[in-house]
C-alpha cells in the first residue's frame, strides 16, 4: 500500500518541523502550503522594532537541528527567521513548499478517506492526512473601542508594522503593554516627539539578562556539538523547574511577584510612575515578560503612561475615562493576538458534513490538543491547550510532531483508511484539562488571552512539558475508531443490502482514565 500523502498548512516552526520529520521517515508525498511568500510564521510576520524571543536560542530551536551560530542568548527576529530558512535548505524542503498559496477550506471525503483542500480559483489538492500548523498567534487582536475606525492618522497593529511610516517627531499613542509593546516601545521612544502609552494592566516584568555569544562560544559550539546540547539541557531544566508554581502550587509565584517589584524599584526612580507600573494580579495569570530596557524608556521626559481606561478613539486622538483627550497622529496597537480563535478563517468540514467551528462553538478542544472527534486524519500542531507559561513551545511542538508521525505510520502499517479519536476519549481529556486548570495560576481571576470571552480556558497546558511528552510518546489505539482501508466506507451497502458496519482491525484497548 502506498504511504499516506500529507498536506501541511503553515510554514512556521510547526509546519517545517513536521515536514522534516515526515521526509526523514521516508514519506515523500508531503506538501506544505503557506499563504505568504516566505517561511517563518510569526517570525516572518512580526518585524516590529526590537522583535526578539523571550526563550533562550538553544532551547528555542529544534532538538534535531541545533544552530551553533546563534549570536546571542535571546535571538532576535531576523536571526530566527533565517534559522527557519536554513532548515528548509538543510533538509531539502524547498520542493515540498507551495508558497503564496493560502488554503481557504478543507473537507473530508469519507469514501476516499482523503482531505480535499480548497486553494481558491477552482484549484484543489487532495491528501490522506491533513496537518494544521497555523498556530495560535496568527490573527492580530484589535480592541473593541468606540470610534476606532474614525482615527484620521496612521494606525496599525504591531504584527503589521508600517515600516514606511517614519515615527520621527510624531505624537505616538501605543495601546497595550504586552510582550510586543515592551520590546518596541524602547526602540521607538527616542524617535517620537511624544509617546503616550495606554496601559490596560501593569504586567509583571523581570530582568532578561540577554548577552551576545562571543567568537569563543560560537567556535566551541561548532567544534563540540555536545557543549550546545548540554547548554540546551541546562536551559530546559532551568525553565521546567518552574512548572509546579504555574500548574500546581500558585502560591509559590509570590516569589516571582517580589522579584518583579524589586526589578521595578531598581529601574524606576519616580514614585508616581512606580505606583502606576506596579504589577496587577498574580504573576503568571497573564504572561510574565522579560526586559532590561522597558522601564528606563518609560522614565524618559517624552513618555507618559496613562492608566485611565480608553473610552473613545477620535480622528485626532484618544479620550480616557478621566475626561482627558490625548492628541496623537500615529496609533500603534500592541494588543496581541486572538489566540483562542483556532484555525481562524479556515473552513473545515469533517464526517457527515460536520463543521469544525460549529463543533467548537463553546470553545476549542482537541484530544491531547492534537485530534478532534469527527475529523479523521486531521492533526493540529499548537492546538487547544498546548501553549505554555514556563518553557519553550518548540519542545511541545516536537512532542506533537512525534505523535502525529506515529499516527501516520499507523495508517500505513495497519492499512487504515482513517483513524478518528473517540468522542468519549476527547471528552475525558477535556474534562481533565478543565479540572486540572482550576489548580493553575492561569485560573486566578484575571482577564487574559489565555481564555475565551466566556471564561473558558482553551490555550494553556495545565501541566509540565515532561507530563505532555509522556502522554504523547505513543498512540493509545483504544482512544480511536479505526477504519480499515479495504472495508467499504460507512453507509455503503453490505452483503444483504444493509449498511456496512466496519469493525476495528484489532480489539480496542480500554480507554485510560485521565491522570489526576
pLDDT tens digits, residue range 39-97?
999 999 999 999 999 999 999 999 999 999 999 999 999 999 999 999 999 999 999 99
Which part of the chain has CATH 3.50.50.60?
Answer: 6-139+344-484, 148-203+248-333
Q: In what order do the strands lie in the sheet with 171-175?
A: 154-157, 330-333, 171-175, 194-198, 303-306
Q: Are strands 378-380 and 416-421 parallel, antiparallel or unpaired?
A: unpaired
pLDDT of residue 491: 52
Decide if 373 contacts 420 (C-beta within 8 A). yes
pLDDT band at 377 (very low <50, low <70, confident <90, very high): very high
pLDDT of residue 334: 96
Strand partners, 114: 109
Q: Which fold does the domain 148-203+248-333 belong to in CATH?
A: FAD/NAD(P)-binding domain (3.50.50)
Distances (CA, A) of 12 to 130, 206, 365, 394: 16, 28, 22, 11
pLDDT tens digits, residue range 92-139?
999 999 999 999 999 999 999 999 999 999 999 999 999 999 988 888
Query: What value does the mean pLDDT take over residues 275-302?
Result: 94
| CA–CA gap between residue 21 and residue 143 (Å, rounded) | 39
| CA–CA gap between residue 439 and residue 207 (Å, rounded) | 27
Task: Give domain 6-139+344-484's CATH superfamily.
Answer: FAD/NAD(P)-binding domain (3.50.50.60)
pLDDT tens digits, residue range 156-187?
999 999 999 999 999 999 999 999 999 999 99
Q: Mapping DSSP to helix (H, G, I), strand (E, B) and coil, where does residue 373 land?
A: coil
Confidence check: pLDDT of 451 > 90: no
Q: Give the DSSP letter string of 89-107.
A: HHTT-GGGEETT----EEE
pLDDT tens digits, residue range 395-442?
999 999 999 999 999 999 999 999 999 999 999 999 999 999 999 999
| CA–CA gap between residue 115 and residue 420 (Å, rounded) | 13
Q: Are strands 105-109 and 114-120 parallel, antiparallel or unpaired?
A: antiparallel
pLDDT of residue 502: 41
Amino acid at each position: 500500500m502506498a504511504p499516506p500523502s500529507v498536506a501541511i498548512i503553515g510554514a512556521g516552526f510547526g509546519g517545517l518541523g513536521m515536514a522534516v520529520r515526515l521526509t526523514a521517515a521516508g514519506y515523500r508525498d508531503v506538501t506544505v502550503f503557506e499563504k505568504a511568500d516566505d517561511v517563518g510564521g510569526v517570525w516572518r510576520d512580526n518585524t516590529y522594532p526590537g522583535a526578539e524571543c523571550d526563550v533562550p536560542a538553544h532551547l528555542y530551536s529544534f532538538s534535531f537541528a541545533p544552530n551553533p551560530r546563534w549570536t546571542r542568548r535571546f535571538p532576535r527576529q531576523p536571526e530566527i527567521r533565517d534559522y527557519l530558512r536554513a532548515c528548509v535548505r538543510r533538509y531539502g524542503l524547498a520542493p515540498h513548499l507551495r508558497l503564496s498559496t493560502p488554503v481557504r477550506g478543507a473537507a473530508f471525503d469519507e469514501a476516499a478517506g482523503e482531505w480535499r483542500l480548497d486553494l481558491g480559483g477552482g484549484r484543489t489538492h487532495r491528501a490522506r492526512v491533513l496537518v494544521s500548523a497555523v498556530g495560535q498567534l496568527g490573527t492580530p487582536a484589535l480592541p473593541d473601542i468606540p470610534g476606532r475606525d474614525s482615527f484620521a492618522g496612521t494606525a496599525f497593529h504591531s504584527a503589521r508594522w508600517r515600516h514606511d511610516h517614519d515615527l520621527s517627531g510624531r505624537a505616538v499613542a501605543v495601546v497595550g503593554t504586552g510582550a510586543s509593546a515592551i520590546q518596541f516601545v524602547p526602540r521607538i521612544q527616542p524617535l517620537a516627539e511624544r509617546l503616550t502609552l495606554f496601559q490596560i494592566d501593569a504586567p509583571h516584568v523581570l530582568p532578561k539578562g540577554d548577552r551576545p555569544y562571543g567568537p569563543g562560544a560560537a567556535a566551541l559550539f561548532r567544534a563540540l556539538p555536545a557543549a550546545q546540547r548540554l547548554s540546551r539541557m541546562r536551559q530546559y531544566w532551568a525553565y521546567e523547574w518552574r512548572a509546579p508554581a504555574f500548574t500546581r502550587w500558585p502560591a509559590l509565584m509570590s516569589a516571582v511577584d517580589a522579584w518583579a517589584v524589586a526589578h521595578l524599584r531598581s529601574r524606576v526612580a519616580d514614585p508616581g510612575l512606580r505606583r502606576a507600573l506596579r504589577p496587577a494580579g498574580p504573576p503568571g495569570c497573564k504572561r510574565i515578560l522579560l526586559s532590561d530596557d522597558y522601564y528606563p524608556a518609560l522614565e524618559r521626559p517624552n513618555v507618559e503612561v496613562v492608566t485611565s481606561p480608553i473610552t473613545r478613539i477620535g480622528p485626532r486622538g484618544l479620550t480616557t475615562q478621566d475626561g482627558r483627550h490625548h492628541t496623537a497622529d500615529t496609533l500603534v496597537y500592541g494588543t496581541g493576538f486572538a489566540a483562542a480563535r483556532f484555525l481562524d478563517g479556515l473552513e473545515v468540514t469533517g464526517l457527515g458534513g460536520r463543521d469544525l467551528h460549529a463543533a467548537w462553538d463553546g470553545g476549542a478542544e482537541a484530544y491531547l490538543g492534537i485530534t478532534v472527534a469527527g475529523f479523521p486524519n486531521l492533526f493540529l500542531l499548537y492546538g487547544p491547550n498546548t501553549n505554555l507559561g514556563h518553557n519553550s513551545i518548540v519542545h511541545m511542538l516536537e512532542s506533537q510532531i512525534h505523535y502525529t508521525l506515529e499516527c501516520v505510520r499507523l495508517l500505513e502499517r495497519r492499512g487504515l483508511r482513517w483513524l478518528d479519536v473517540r468522542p468519549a476519549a476527547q471528552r475525558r481529556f477535556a474534562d481533565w484539562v478543565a479540572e486540572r486548570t482550576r489548580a493553575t495560576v492561569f485560573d486566578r481571576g484575571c482577564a487574559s488571552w489565555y481564555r475565551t470571552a466566556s471564561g473558558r480556558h482553551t490555550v494553556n497546558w495545565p501541566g509540565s512539558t515532561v507530563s505532555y511528552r509522556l502522554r504523547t510518546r505513543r498512540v493509545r489505539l483504544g482512544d480511536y475508531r479505526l477504519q480499515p482501508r479495504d472495508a467499504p466506507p460507512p453507509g455503503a451497502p453490505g452483503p444483504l443490502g444493509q449498511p456496512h458496519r466496519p469493525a476495528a482491525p484489532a480489539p480496542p484497548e480500554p480507554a485510560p482514565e485521565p491522570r489526576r
